Structure 1
Amino acid sequence: MSATLIYCYDPMCSWCWGFKPTWQALQKALEPIIESGDLYINTMLGGLAVDSDAPMPPQMQTLLQGTWERIASQLGTKFNFDFWTQCQPRRSTYPACRACLVARDHNLESDMMSAIQEAYYLNAQNPSDVETLSHCAEHIGLNPMQFKKAMQHTKEQGLLEKEVNSARSLGLNSFPSLAVLKGDKLVHIPLDYEDITSMLNDIKAVI
């Protein structure tokens, strides 16, 4: 019986950005098992913050800047702090999550996630804005007009909300999260942001 490794993330989650190199290394280490057909990888969107046009409160801006500083110090992750002075931050990650859902239909979810993260964390652009997301879509080869229509359809159909509810039902309430599903057994995998060894061993033990 094959197993599924579920990676739950939000493209605007700063800890997901910090985890990215380790996640890529873990996927690389799992390639032989994936190629054998014993393991599949399935992504799920976390939906960290719902749609909002309200400016982010100053205290939350300060809190998130502190989080960026902690991740940079702990993991060596790069952040462009110009974002906080050049953009109007909003506590809204649902648009960016929907962009990843749209890209998934074109087998470009990973590319979209990377484009959003780089726009946000390196280029001080705001992924809460549809225009930023449209530029990300164009960057990975999608038609901007068709992308915007697909974004609206995804919103009208509540597709992200359905995925978020599915993630919550599996206990994937923090981002990033990893869990292995085999049959009707779900095993959560503790994260190590700097070394894949323990995660790799835990995954192998389940499958």
Structure 2
Amino acid sequence: MIDGLQRAYYLRALNPSDTSTHIQLAEELGLDLDAFHDDIISSETEQELQNQIQLYKELSANGFPSLTLQNNNTLTQIPVDYKNASAMLDLIKQALSPSSQGQNYG
């Protein structure tokens, strides 16, 4: 579904925020549409969405997608580098090293 949503947005100009887009993709994937529809409009799904939005705000994320490393009680923003995953991994390793606790790389 995640791949389908990415393709829907970037290649098909469909709005990934619209429930109708999710239902269309569920149908294309051959999912049980009745169950999918019930799940996507459920209060549990809405609550999880609100929880994720609140977490995004609490983390002071700078965009979507974003990467925040939580190590114990320390949160570290890791800049997303689409061209070099190694650079992101290096920053994660640095953030996990004892000598750099509390630094922010974002």
Into which bin does the TM-score normalised by the smaller protein fall? 0.7 to 0.9
Match of 1:179 in 2: 68
TM-score, length of structure 1 as denominator length: 0.41
Return the offset for 1:120.
Answer: 2.5
- Contact (CA 8 Å) 2:69, 2:75: kept in 1 or not? yes
Match of 1:164 in 2: 53
- Contact (CA 8 Å) 1:119, 1:125: kept in 2 or not? yes
Over the residues paired in the alignment, what is the CA RMSD in angstroms? Answer: 2.3
Amino acid aligned to 1:198 = A
- Contact (CA 8 Å) 2:79, 2:88: kept in 1 or not? yes
Q: Deviations for 1:117-139, whole angstroms, at most 9, x for unmatched residues?
A: 21232234444443331121233
Distance 2:56 2:15 in 1: 25
Determine which structure has greater relative contact order: mean sequence separation of CA pairs < 8 Å that are 6+ residues apart, divided by chain length: 1
Match of 1:190 in 2: 79
Amino acid aligned to 1:137 = A
Secondary structure at the residue paired with 1:179? strand
Sort the Cα spacing of 1:123 and 1:141 in 2 relative to 1 into closer, same or farther, 3 A: same
The answer to whether 1:149 aligns with 2:38 is yes
Match of 2:20 in 1: 131
Return the offset for 1:167.
Answer: 1.9
Distance 1:143 1:204 in 2: 42
Sort the Cα spacing of 1:154 and 1:117 in 2 relative to 1 into closer, same or farther, 3 A: farther
Match of 1:46 in 2: none
Distance 2:2 2:45 in 1: 22
- Contact (CA 8 Å) 2:39, 2:45: kept in 1 or not? no
Return the offset for 1:158.
Answer: 3.0
Count the aligned residue pairs.
96
Distance 1:125 1:157 in 2: 21
TM-score, length of structure 2 as denominator length: 0.73
Match of 1:201 in 2: 90
Match of 2:4 in 1: 115
Task: Report percent identity of matched pairs.
Answer: 34
Return the offset for 1:186.
Answer: 0.8
Return the offset for 1:141.
Answer: 4.5
Distance 1:206 1:182 in 2: 8
